[in-house]
Amino acid sequence: MQSRRYLLRKVLHAIGTLIFVLAFNFVLFRAVGDPVKLLTRSNLRLDPKEQAALREELGIDDPLPVQFVNYVGDTLRGELGLSFTSGRPVSEEIADRIWPTVLLVGSATVLSTVFGILIGIKGAWRRGSAFDTSSLLGSLVLYSMPEGWLGMILLIVFAGSLGWFPTGQMESTDPMTGLAHVGDVLSHLFLPCLTLTLGYLGEYAIIMRSSLLEVMGEDFIQTARAKGVRDRDVRRRHAVPNALLPTFTLVFYSIGFILGGSVIVEAVYSWPGLGRLTFDSIAGNDYPVIQGIFLLFSAAVILCNLLADVLYGYLDPRVKEG
């Protein structure tokens, strides 16, 4: 019973947040900014007659509550309007770009989590050792680096001067099939993925380190040692599993930040994903696309947070009691 109520509460909270995001988006673009005026800031030029037709079509002169209901209905049906620059439906524009971003952000998340956790464990277990000090400093430096800039430096060095990797895009211009194609994509993926991985590795290592240090001060670790459990087993069976929890949830909670970092990294490497689309839409004042991406990013992050809450409740039953 307890767990079902916990789950229900979390799902309701996620839905509430989603409604808040929708309302927020509506207020920003419809009530504060006049969409037609915003349109004139973009590259699209309209004469007064076309503007009037557009006002009619968008229903801008309807009362705000009517507009809001229509807007929510449209959004739920996936109708996000037309792109100002290409004239195609925003939903199509976005759908084309999702998978490259999922590939990039997914692989960078997995890699930075795994390496961050390993570095954090090694540092905390030998606190004060040369490895600990240098990895802590390195983590802090990586944490302080703007990802976009790091990406540019890696691009100049490894793609420009050394020429080991392609400078951009997701695949070579001449079509390849099978394994050759996979290898081609991987070599294009390497640098942007490395940039994002390095950008978030530091934070995870620091969190894992401090979380493990906290666990190491607990009584049950001392009990395990007193029982004569070997050092390696104390670490593997008693300390690390308990320290992993906060780190894992942090990873889920920081998906939003990784998505943010991917925007610039994708722009630097011309990676054909959502980040690149965001970058181009900002440059072209393509508001419907910016709006659509805002909704999608928010929904993705809300979903990840919900997953984190559910996972946390599952892994640590104490949470559900509270």
Partner 1 sequence: MIQTPRTSDVELGTEAPPPEAPRSPRAIRWARRRRALSGFWRTYRQSRMGMVGLVIMALFILVALAAPLLADKTGLNVSTPPGTPFESPSAQFPLGTDDFGRSVLDLVIYGSRISLLVGFAATAVTMLAGAGVGIVGGYYGGRIDTLMNAFTNWFLVIPWIALAIVLTSILGRSLFNIILVIGLTSWAGTARLVRADTLSVKERPYVERARALGASNWHLVTRHILPNVMPVIFANTVLTVALSILAETTLSLLGLGDPRNVSWGGIINDAFEAGALSAGYWWWLIPPGVCICLVTLAFTMCGYALDEVLNPRIRER
* Shortest Å, Cβ 178 to partner 1: 31
Smaller CB separation from partner 1, 28 or 182: 28
* Shortest Å, Cβ 93 to partner 1: 16
For residue 297, state whether it binds partner 1 (rule: CB under 8 A). yes
Nearest by Cα to 102 from 302, 248, 259, 309 = 259
For residue 130, state whether it binds partner 1 (rule: CB under 8 A). no
Helix, strand, coil percentages for the chain (3-state, nearest 5): 80, 0, 20
Q: 3-class DSSP state for residue 89?
A: strand
For residue 214, state whether it binds partner 1 (rule: CB under 8 A). yes
Instruction: State the CB neighbour count (10 A cutoff) for residue 269.
Output: 29
C-alpha–C-alpha distance, residues 259 and 217, integer Å? 35
Smaller CB separation from partner 1, 1 or 130: 130
For residue 106, state whether it binds partner 1 (rule: CB under 8 A). no
Nearest by Cα to 85 from 300, 289, 242 = 289
Q: Are 191 and 159 in contact (CB under 8 A)?
A: yes
Smaller CB separation from partner 1, 196 or 302: 302
* Shortest Å, Cβ 180 to partner 1: 27
Smaller CB separation from partner 1, 160 or 241: 160
Q: Which residues contact 208 (CB under 8 A, 6 or more apart)?
A: 116, 117, 119, 120, 121, 124, 243, 244, 247
For residue 165, state whether it binds partner 1 (rule: CB under 8 A). no
Query: What number of chain residues touch partner 1 (CB under 8 A)?
Result: 55
Question: DSSP characters for 219-277?
Answer: HHHHHHHHTT--HHHIIIIIIHHHHHHHHHHHHHHTHHHHHHHHHHHHHHTT--SHHHH
Stretch that binds partner 1, among 73-81, 93-101, 107-115, 144-152 (CB under 8 A): 144-152
- The residue from 2, 11, 15, 20 that contacts partner 1 (CB under 8 A) is 20
C-alpha–C-alpha distance, residues 265 and 258, integer Å? 10
Smaller CB separation from partner 1, 248 or 309: 309
* Shortest Å, Cβ 144 to partner 1: 4
For residue 121, state whether it binds partner 1 (rule: CB under 8 A). no
Smaller CB separation from partner 1, 5 or 41: 41
Question: How many Cα neighbours within 13 Å face the side chain of 310?
Answer: 14
- The encoded tokens of residue 60 equal 């801008």
* Shortest Å, Cβ 257 to partner 1: 8
Which residues within the stretch 52-81 sit at the binding site for partner 1 (CB under 8 A)? none
For residue 102, state whether it binds partner 1 (rule: CB under 8 A). no
Stretch that binds partner 1, among 30-38, 83-91, 101-109, 228-236 (CB under 8 A): 30-38
* Shortest Å, Cβ 148 to partner 1: 4
Q: Are 48 and 56 in contact (CB under 8 A)?
A: no
C-alpha–C-alpha distance, residues 290 and 280, integer Å? 10
Smaller CB separation from partner 1, 247 or 254: 254
Instruction: Tell me whether residue 232 is exposed, middle or buried, using C-beta atoms within 10 angstroms of its C-beta: 0 to 12, 13 to 18, 19 or more.
Output: exposed
The residue ranges that bind partner 1 (CB under 8 A) are 13, 16-17, 20-21, 24-25, 28-29, 32-33, 38, 140-141, 143-146, 148-150, 152-153, 155-156, 160-161, 167, 213-214, 217, 256-257, 259-261, 263-264, 267-268, 278-279, 282-283, 285, 287, 290-291, 293-294, 297-298, 301-302, 305
